[in-house]
């Protein structure tokens, strides 16, 4: 029998993960949700997923419990969970910045497996990148079971320690915004230089997808791919010289350090 996956919180992220699970062939009868928000309840009903107003049925029936509420709601949810938790239930938190230690403490130092996940927004279109970590070694079956949930809305990988989550947040959590910034500026300058917005948009987005696809499948690194596009004295070289004059690598480095440091400042106990 398949595991029952219960979501506490059925908003944007939960719905994205659930859509991925259904698309990957998971039966709607394996999934249940609690969310007091009527709009979320209707959206989930439309997906064929039972959505309860209270979390008790989810806590009672789920083998894996995904905490998909906002960080400020975690305390209430954990207070409901603590007295009712079974030791075999696996707790998965996607709440940004909330540490595993503080979740465990709110759950009365329960020995249950607790996994912290940092997904990102492309999960909403099935192209997410999720990083997973735990505070204790997990057996392979548990790891695979949890990873499959997040593979369903993109890709998922394990990082060795919770400390790495701040860097993960800087790289892939905030990462979509960096690419949006690049796309935004390439389009606006393309338009300023005479392209129509529609043509600029199509050229830029397909180029971004093509470059990411090549970087993914190629047997050489992005530095070599870049050099291969850069003929001496050519157009790409002219553009890259401008990026280098502006210390592009240094700007990216500073930006990621700023995001990592901010993630660390925001990383906190259950508020
Ligand atoms: N969105 C992202 O890109 C992203 C990326 C990484 C991590 N995350 C994390 O994912 C979590 C969920 O984010 P989201 O964007 O999906 O938020 P969301 O759309 O606001 O969903 C949260 C849902 O939980 C409901 N809720 C409130 N109290 C509840 C309770 N006691 N029991 C059950 N459900 C309750 C909310 O209802 P009401 O609206 O009525 O309060 C809302 O429908 C957050 O912790 C966030 O940090 C999000």
The pLDDT tens digits for 229-264 are 999 999 999 999 999 999 999 999 999 999 999 999
Whole-prediction pTM: 0.93
Å from CA of 101 to ligand 1 middle = 21
Regarding the beta carbon of 38 and ligand 1, being less than 6 Å apart is answered: no
Helix (H, G, I), strand (E, B) or coil at 186: helix
Of 28, 29, 84, 30, residue with least CA distance to 55: 84
Distances in Å between the Cα of 49 and the Cα atoms of 127, 146, 153, 227 are 22, 20, 17, 50
Regarding the beta carbon of 95 and ligand 1, being less than 6 Å apart is answered: yes
Domains of the chain, start order: 5-160 (3.40.50.720), 175-266 (1.10.3730.10)
Regarding the beta carbon of 96 and ligand 1, being less than 6 Å apart is answered: yes
Structure token digits, residue 186: 């390439």
The residue to mutate among 8, 9, 270, having the most atoms of ligand 1 within 8 angstroms of its beta carbon, is 9
Distance CA(251)–CA(243), nearest Å, equals 10
What local confidence, expressed as pLDDT, does residue 1 receive?
A: 61
Å from CA of 67 to ligand 1 middle = 9
Q: Any idea what DSSP says for residue 84? A: G
Distance CA(140)–CA(171), nearest Å, equals 26
**Which residue has the CA at smallest separation from atom 19 of ligand 1?**
11
The atom number, within ligand 1, closest to the CA of 93 reads: 45
What local confidence, expressed as pLDDT, does residue 2 receive?
A: 80
What local confidence, expressed as pLDDT, does residue 162 receive?
A: 92
What local confidence, expressed as pLDDT, does residue 267 receive?
A: 78
Question: Is residue 56 a contact partner of residue 62, using CB atoms and an 8 Å limit?
Answer: no
Regarding the beta carbon of 119 and ligand 1, being less than 6 Å apart is answered: yes
Å from CA of 14 to ligand 1 middle = 8
Å from CA of 17 to ligand 1 middle = 12
Å from CA of 70 to ligand 1 middle = 4
Name the percent of the chain in helix, strand, coil, to the closest 5: 55, 15, 30
Distances in Å between the Cα of 202 and the Cα atoms of 124, 208, 215, 248 are 21, 10, 20, 25
Point out the residues of the chain with pLDDT beneath 70.
1, 271
Range list of H helices, 54-119 = 56-61, 74-81, 100-106
Of 233, 245, 217, 182, residue with least CA distance to 225: 217
Regarding the beta carbon of 12 and ligand 1, being less than 6 Å apart is answered: yes
Question: Is residue 117 a contact partner of residue 94, using CB atoms and an 8 Å limit?
Answer: yes
The atom number, within ligand 1, closest to the CA of 13 reads: 16
């Amino acid at each position: 029998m398949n595991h029952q996956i219960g979501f506490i919180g059925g908003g944007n992220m939960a719905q994205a993960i659930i859509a991925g699970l259904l698309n990957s062939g998971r039966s709607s009868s394996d999934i249940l949700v609690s969310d007091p928000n009527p709009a979320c309840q209707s959206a989930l009903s439309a997906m064929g997923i039972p959505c309860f107003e209270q979390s008790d049925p989810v806590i009672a029936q789920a083998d894996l419990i995904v905490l998909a509420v906002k960080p400020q709601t975690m305390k209430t949810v954990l207070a409901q969970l603590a007295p009712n938790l079974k030791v075999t239930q696996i707790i998965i938190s996607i709440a940004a910045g909330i540490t595993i230690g503080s979740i465990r403490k709110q759950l009365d130092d329960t020995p249950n497996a607790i996994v912290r996940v940092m997904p990102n927004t492309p999960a909403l279109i099935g192209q997410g990148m999720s990083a997973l970590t735990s505070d204790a070694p997990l057996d392979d079956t548990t790891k695979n079971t949890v990873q499959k949930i997040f593979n369903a809305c993109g890709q998922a990988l394990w990082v060795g320690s919770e400390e790495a989550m701040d860097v993960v947040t800087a790289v892939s959590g905030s990462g979509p915004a960096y690419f949006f910034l690049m796309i935004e500026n390439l389009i606006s300058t393309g338009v300023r230089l005479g392209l129509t917005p529609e043509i600029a948009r199509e050229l830029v987005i397909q180029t971004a997808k093509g470059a990411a696809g090549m970087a993914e499948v190629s047997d050489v690194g992005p530095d070599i791919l870049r050099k291969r596009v850069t003929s001496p004295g050519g157009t790409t070289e002219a553009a890259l010289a401008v990026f280098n004059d502006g210390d592009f690598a240094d700007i990216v480095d500073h930006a990621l350090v700023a995001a990592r440091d901010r993630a660390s400042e925001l990383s906190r106990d259950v508020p």
